[in-house]
Amino acid sequence: MAEESFTIIDNRSGNEVTVPIVDGTISSAALRQLDKGMWFYDPAYLSTANCDSKITFIDGAEGILRYRGYPIEQLADGSSFLEVCYLLLHGELPTQAQSDVWVDHITNHTYVHENIARFMQGFRYDAHPMGTLVSTVAGLSTFYPEAKDIDDPHNRMIQIIRLIAKMPTMAAFAYKNRLGLPYEYPVNNLGYTGNFLRMMWNVADPSFEPDPILTKALDVLFILHADHEQNCSTTTMRTVGSSQADPYSAVAAATCGLYGPLHGGANEKVIRMLHEIGSYENVDAYVEKVKSGEMLLQGFGHRVYKNYDPRAKIIKQTADQVFNVTGMNPLLDIAMKLEEVALSDPYFVDRSLYPNVDFYSGLIYEAMGFPMDMFTVLFAIGRTPGWLAHWQEMLDDPEQKIYRPRQKYTGPAERSYVAIGDR
């Protein structure tokens, strides 16, 4: 079979270049063979692949998501979050022996330095937990200066383990700090997610153990959020990492990307929308306002998926399990009616506005007792292994250099300076 290719013709000169199609992409370098001053203009990089990656596969048209080749449905059903972390970082699922060592490593790094705990107490009483988390993660780089040696794979893995292990501790501390409650230190025999829930909810009860159904549900949500290819925060992780910054600084930057309402804050918007609708009876009227452009439909549609988000299907099933423990979230009826209407109305179907991962996740978090400003923090815990997997992959890729996109200059032409008295 002949090699698949594009032929690009420069109509100014008549020169042409043939560009091979490799894995559905063409090299931008070929264009510059025709004109070295020419660049692709691609706002928000919507049509640009900035790297090769073996980590996550997405087929938006078919609604497919796989980590290292494994369907997300199978991982959510049979795996644990820490096992998925291992998969993302090492490329293969662990054996039992490998899993035991891995879990032990994570468990032994859950504590943070007491100076970190005191540092977190320095934030205002009403500080947003995500702002506290961003700053604290960045601060970790000063406690582990050896992390700057990114060329040592063993040292690199130590920092990766520390970050995955300490994220839940810092997240729980950020929450407790806001409430003025004493920090709950890790009890590692409860497992990764169970330990986090204990640090969140326990106050001076040595016998406290979180509900196993809620623990499993949150573990599944962490799995679903573990990676999602080259989104805003992951691209930020790679961009900062390309300067050879230490992983704590890079994860802090990625967390900043996640902090934005268009990325990590989407499930919070869903909850606010459902509260605004107010009742089951108001759904039809709200939908009409969406269709007329008066309101936005939060939690529907996705930049990548043009089909039902596969994570949304799993979350919907998880929601049933959570509500059996917590009782029904009063917003659930509104959400289900909204989904029913949207999936049957040609206006939404024609625009591929299907429920996404954010639509039901906020309902689960709220039912479990998490305040809305903790939703993005939970996202950050789950996404940390994905960020680190991409960071590691980038460092090992010989084609990668420090990120330096070009721009299309649209400012004024050359001008002469005029002294201030003559302006």
Q: Using one digit for the tens of pLDDT, what is the confidence trace for 207-217?
A: 899 999 999 99
Which amino acid does the sequence have at 63?
A: G
Specify whether the CB–CB gap between 242 and 395 falls below 8 A: no
Is residue 358 flagged as an active site residue? yes
Label residue 387 exposed, middle or buried (CB < 10 Å: 0-12, 13-18, 19+): buried
Residue 209 CB neighbours (<10 A): 14
pLDDT for position 386: 98
DSSP per position, 161-180 = HHHHHHHHHHHHHHHHHHHT
**Mean pLDDT, the chain cut into blocks of 10 residues (423 residues total):** 77 86 81 80 85 93 94 97 98 97 96 94 90 96 96 96 98 93 92 96 90 96 96 95 96 95 84 90 90 87 80 89 87 87 86 84 91 94 98 94 90 96 95
Rounded to an integer, what distance in angstroms lies between the CA atom of residue 302 and that of residue 263? 11
- Candidate list 302, 309, 373, 390, residue with the active-site label: 302
d(CA 166, CA 255): 14
Q: What is the pTM for the complete model shown?
A: 0.92
Q: Closest by alpha carbon to 276, among 324, 218, 232, 335? A: 335
- At position 400, the amino acid (one-letter code) is Q
Q: Tell me which DSSP letter residue 18 carries.
A: E
Query: How big is the chain by its Cα radius of gyration, in Å?
Result: 24
CB neighbours (10 Å) of residue 323? 16
- CA distance readout (Å), 266 to 128, 185, 191, 373: 16, 30, 28, 11
pLDDT for 136 equals 97
Query: What are the residue ranges spanned by the domains of the chain?
Result: 5-58, 64-257+380-395, 266-368
The domain 266-368 is placed in CATH, from the list 1.20.210.10, 3.40.50.1220, 2.102.10.10, 1.10.230.10, at: 1.10.230.10
Distance CA 70, CA 93 (A): 10
Pairing between β-strand 56-59 and β-strand 70-71 as defined by DSSP bridges? unpaired
Give the residues across from 7 on adjacent strands. Answer: 18
Using CA atoms, how far apart are residues 114 and 13, in angstroms rounded to an integer?
67
Structure-block tokens of residue 163: 């970050």
309 is catalytic: no
Q: What is the pLDDT of residue 1?
A: 39
* pLDDT score for 229: 93
| Annotated catalytic residue, options 219, 227, 309, 358 | 358
- Residue matched to tokens 């993660």: 137
pLDDT at 228: 94
Single out the catalytic residue among 90, 105, 263, 333. 263
Residue in the block written with tokens 């049979």: 78
CATH of 64-257+380-395, one of 3.40.50.1400, 3.30.413.10, 1.10.287.130, 1.10.580.10: 1.10.580.10
CA quadruple 24, 27, 31, 37: dihedral, nearest 10: 140
